[in-house]
Amino acid sequence: MILKQIEVKSSLIDEFTNCYILQDENTKEAMCIDPGGDFEKIKEMLEIMEVKLKYIYLTHSHMDHIEKAKELKKSLGGEILISRKGAQNVNNPDINLSKLTNYNLYIEIDSRVDDKDILHIGDIELEVIYTPGHTDDSTSLYCKSENLIFTGDTLMYMGIGRTDFPTGNKKEIKKSLKKLFMLPDNTFVYPGHGLPTTIKDEKER
């Protein structure tokens, strides 16, 4: 598996977000996670990697994670995926937070994912883990064979996601963290913002 991390900046707010591209070397199939800004930067990388873009996966409905999904699909194809609740929330500017800017963001979702769903990128298998709390639509994406998980804004290096935005819930994020901390200690964690970490390091903080 090839994994690229691109730091992108939303055009709507002053915030850097991690966009990830993962690709199966054999089939060239790929998934782009959270294309939250800098469309040209993401597109350039996808073209260099000669990807067949299968999925555009959104870890949650916040604008800094979803902003360029539409453009990416238009230019390189791929199905836009988010959780069931996320499919509604992406089209609610109060919840996707775009109302805070002068631009109301709407996105058409192609498929909804649920807890325990399995997605395939070539031979790579990824499991959806429902991890509400930062928003009620947050999911993480676990790849057992590669020993890594994409956690969006649920679990980050030395921190967890805020719960004071619409649909956020402190109790729920605590439950979600418990779920994530059941994963093997040496699982690499790739968050929506900031540096990568491991389950062990975050569990111990």
Q: Which residues would be at the binding site for Fe ion (CB under 5 A)?
A: 62, 153
Nearer CB in complex with Fe ion: 138/187:
138
Burial zone of 146 (CB within 10 Å; 0-12 exposed, 13-18 middle, 19+ buried): middle
The CB-nearest residue to Fe ion is: 62
Nearer CB in complex with Fe ion: 62/68:
62
117: nearest Cα among 90, 82, 151: 82
CB 153 → Fe ion: shortest distance, Å?
Answer: 4
Nearer CB in complex with Fe ion: 29/153:
153
Interatomic CA distance for residues 78 and 111, integer angstroms: 11
Nearer CB in complex with Fe ion: 121/173:
173
Nearer CB in complex with Fe ion: 62/73:
62
User: Could you give phi then psi for residue 190, rounded to 5 degrees?
Assistant: -110, 105
Non-local (6+) Cβ contacts of 202 within 8 A are: 155, 157, 158, 181, 189
CB 140 within 8 A of CB 152: yes
CB 181 → Fe ion: shortest distance, Å?
Answer: 20
CB 186 → Fe ion: shortest distance, Å?
Answer: 26
CB 188 → Fe ion: shortest distance, Å?
Answer: 20
Report the chain's terminal Cα–Cα distance, integer Å.
Answer: 30
**One-letter amino acid of 95:** I
CB 134 → Fe ion: shortest distance, Å?
Answer: 6
